Amino acid sequence: MAKERRILNGKVVAITGGARGIGKATAEALARRGARVAIGDVDLALAEQTAAELGDGAVALALDVSDRASFEAFLDAAERQGGPLDVLVNNAGIMPTTPFVEESEDSFRRQIEINLIGVIHGTQLAMRRMIPRDSGHIVNIASQAGKAGIPGIATYSATKHAVVGLSESVRGELRGRGIEISCVMPTVVNTELTAGVGQRWVKPVEASDVAVAIIDALEVPRFDVYVPKSNGALLRAAALMPRAAAEWVGRTMGTDKLMTEVDHAARAAYEERAAHSTGDRDPAAH
């Protein structure tokens, strides 16, 4: 028997890194369903532009996910303007591409602060608001790099493995309550974050495809959200293989070259922005 789909009309949804990419596409999809969307982003001007495009019911708010006080102020403002928080989408993230041996300390610290600590901040703060009402849904944007080690993005892969583990642990702690957790694991997504990536090896999906999967998981809750869905079966099958066999399959598919054979000129603008992605500067979001 099919599960009854949940209604999103009137729900209060906060999205981190919501001014562009997956965050923006998700905000658009939610707004079409009548949700009241709070877009959090360090680039407040761009967030305001996105909110204006969405129309009534959308608000833009300043947010640095690496700063706990900033995150709490963001959720406070979202609730003041919309009402009690129903959904949090932890989307903000950055992905520099570099051989690990050459990666700077600044680079891996920024990724940990934004990709992991930002998700920890958001998940915990949202739980504290949702548990008294025994209601809510937290969506954490991880990656299929959170299920496999991808050369060229070692630190990014590490942060996404951590997001998967965090989400699984929190799901266990919330069992029996009316609060859902979803972990979204896209393949390469055609956004600025993947500019210049060797997409000939893996067919990318669009940000709108990820947004559709998020909406579906909110309407019919589930934990594992693979985009595309078929990749979930591939990754589960690979996990059952001997390591040597799984690595051979990856090399055959070209995934070992996906993030190493990149067009650095095409990524230059993104990499520069990602290198200054905290504080009062423009963030790089999924």
Catalytic positions, please? 156
How far, in Å, CA of 106 to CA of 194, rounded? 20
Alpha carbon distance 19, 239 (integer Å): 35
Instruction: Tell me the CA distances in angstroms from 90 to 46, 71, 93, 136, 262, one per residue in order.
Output: 18, 11, 9, 14, 27
Token pair recorded at residue 56: 């009534």
The sign of the CA dihedral 163, 141, 229, 259 is: negative
Q: Which residues pair with 139 in a beta bridge?
A: 89, 182
Helices (H), ranges, the chain: 21-32, 44-54, 68-82, 105-111, 118-130, 154-173, 207-219, 230-240, 243-253, 264-274
* Helix 21-32 vs helix 207-219: crossing angle, to nearest 10: 50
Residue 65: CB partners within 8 Å, gap ≥ 6? 16, 17, 40, 71, 90, 92, 114, 117, 118, 119, 121, 122
Contacts of 170 (CB under 8 A, 6+ apart): 123, 127, 138, 181
Query: How far is Cα 243 from Cα 149, in angstroms, rounded to an integer?
Result: 12
Phi, psi (rounded to 5 degrees) for 196: 75, 5
